């Protein structure tokens, strides 16, 4: 069974540019989560989808971040315009409905804003 995949693995952009990260969850997992780890800090929750609906976006830093999950399959996270403090590793995770506490993480996208 394929795991969670994320694209791209790395992205280097300039301040003010736009970047879109993609996550493909494990097939059949209705729950999809985005997390972020900035350097020197712990991994922090950004938001949670159940199918195509946003259940909790309390961790989104500000309105420069937009997450979508059209059709309840893959998800995108867009940062527009990017700022220096957005640099970090963005992880996506998914879980089955019945076992939501155990989440499977993708390899992450390492974003560098210069």
Partner 1 sequence: RKEVEQDPGPFNVPEGATVAFNCTYSNSASQSFFWYRQDCRKEPKLLMSVYSSGNEDGRFTAQLNRASQYISLLIRDSKLSDSATYLCVVNSGSNYKLTFGKGTLLTVNP
The answer to whether 67 and 21 are in contact (CB under 8 A) is no
Among residues 81 and 105, whose Cβ is nearest to partner 1? 105
What binding mask, one character per residue, do residues 61-90 give for partner 1 by CB under 8 A, x or -? ------------------------------
Q: Looking at 11, 75, 88, 106, which residue binds partner 1 (CB under 8 A)?
A: 106
Least Cβ distance, residue 102 to partner 1 (angstroms): 6
Does position 7 bind partner 1 by CB under 8 A? Answer: no
Please provide the distance, in angstroms rounded to a whole number, between the alpha carbons at the two ends of the chain.
37
The secondary element (H helix, E strand) that includes residue 35 is strand 31-37
List b or e across 39-53, with b for residues whose CB sees 16 or more CB atoms inside 10 angstroms.
Answer: eeeeeeebbbbeeee
Among residues 15 and 44, whose Cβ is nearest to partner 1? 44
């Amino acid at each position: 069974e394929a795991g969670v995949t994320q694209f791209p693995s790395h992205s280097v952009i300039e301040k003010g540019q736009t970047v879109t990260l993609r996550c493909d969850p494990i097939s059949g997992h209705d729950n999809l989560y985005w997390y972020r780890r900035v350097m020197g800090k712990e991994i922090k929750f950004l938001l949670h989808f159940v199918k195509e609906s946003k259940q909790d976006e309390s961790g989104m830093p500000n309105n420069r971040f937009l997450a979508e999950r059209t059709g309840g399959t893959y998800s995108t996270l867009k940062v527009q315009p990017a700022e220096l403090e957005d640099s970090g590793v963005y992880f996506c995770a998914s879980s089955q409905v019945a076992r939501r506490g155990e989440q499977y993480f993708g390899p992450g996208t390492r974003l560098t804003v210069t």
